[in-house]
Amino acid sequence: MRTLVILLILANLTLLGYTWLDRRSSGESARLAEQVNPEKIRLLAPREVANLGPAKMAALPDVCAEWGPFGDVDRARALADLEPQALGRLLTQRRVESATGWWVYLPPAANKAAAETRAALLKAAGIRDFFIVDSGPQRFAISLGVFRTEDAANAYRADVAAKGFNNVQAGARQQTSMATMLVIRDPREPLISRLRELAPSYPGTEAKVGPCEKSG
């Protein structure tokens, strides 16, 4: 009798084991059958992510919008423009080196006295933002401003020329300074559209979307 009871227990355990294995096998098969083209799933390289376009990229994880570079004055104004977006911790700032490569100037005068005479004429015409270069190959030239783009420099040169300074020039001048990039993590399409609207108001800046830059 005892032997019969033991055999019945072993039979039940064996049946239970087969049932469990069958269910597990069916579950794995069902999950595999539900996959849609699993062989086509792969990670995208950064260049491939950039080719997706802003709308699709904004839906991916670890995507950032970057806008800049900004000097201190424009940075404060840009932050004020973005304040209605309530970005909170999604918005960070990154310091970068910015090459400002174009300047508007009056060519070197014969001597300091001649340069000061030109400076007085500029003030009389309502131009205040300038200085006399006191050393180097451009000594006694008058710098009227440094710009990030050639278009911005040429536009200002035309403004100064319209006030009677026909010898004003615009030219290349490499100068490196520190600037700020505004970085927004996980941007959505409305924010990307807003950045595109704001960027033209800040000459020399660019708004772009791509993989977030890894820190460290």
pLDDT at site 28: 41
Dump pLDDT digits (tens) for 182-200. Answer: 999 999 899 999 999 999 8
Based on the structure, what is the number of domains in the chain?
A: 1
Residue 32 within any structural domain of the chain: no
Dump pLDDT digits (tens) for 160-176. Answer: 999 999 999 998 876 66
Residue 38 within any structural domain of the chain: no
Residue 23 within any structural domain of the chain: no
Question: What pTM, to 2 d.p., does this model score?
Answer: 0.44
Residue 67 within any structural domain of the chain: yes
Q: Which two tokens stand for residue 116?
A: 């000061």
Can you give the residue range of the structural domain that contains 63? 44-211
Residue 1 within any structural domain of the chain: no
Residue 65 forms beta bridges with which residues?
A: 184, 209
pLDDT at site 88: 93
Residue 2 within any structural domain of the chain: no
Residue 119 within any structural domain of the chain: yes
Q: Confirm if 206 and 67 have CB atoms less than 8 A apart.
A: yes
Instruction: Write a three-state SS string for the chain.
Output: CHHHHHHHHHHHHHHHHHHHHHHHHHHHHHHHHHCCCHHHCCCCCHHHHHCCCHHHHCCCCCEEEEEEEECHHHHHHHHHHHHHHCCHHHEEEEEEEEEEEEEEEECCCCCHHHHHHHHHHHHHCCCCCCEECCCCCCCCCEEEEEECCHHHHHHHHHHHHCCCCCCCEEEEEEEEEEEEEEEEECCCHHHHHHHHHHHHHCCCCEEEEEECCCCC
Dump pLDDT digits (tens) for 106-125. Answer: 999 999 999 999 999 999 99
Residue 195 within any structural domain of the chain: yes
Confidence of residue 38 (pLDDT cuts 50, 70, 90): very low
Query: What does the alpha-carbon distance between residue 177 and residue 52 come to, in Å, rounded to a whole number?
Result: 33
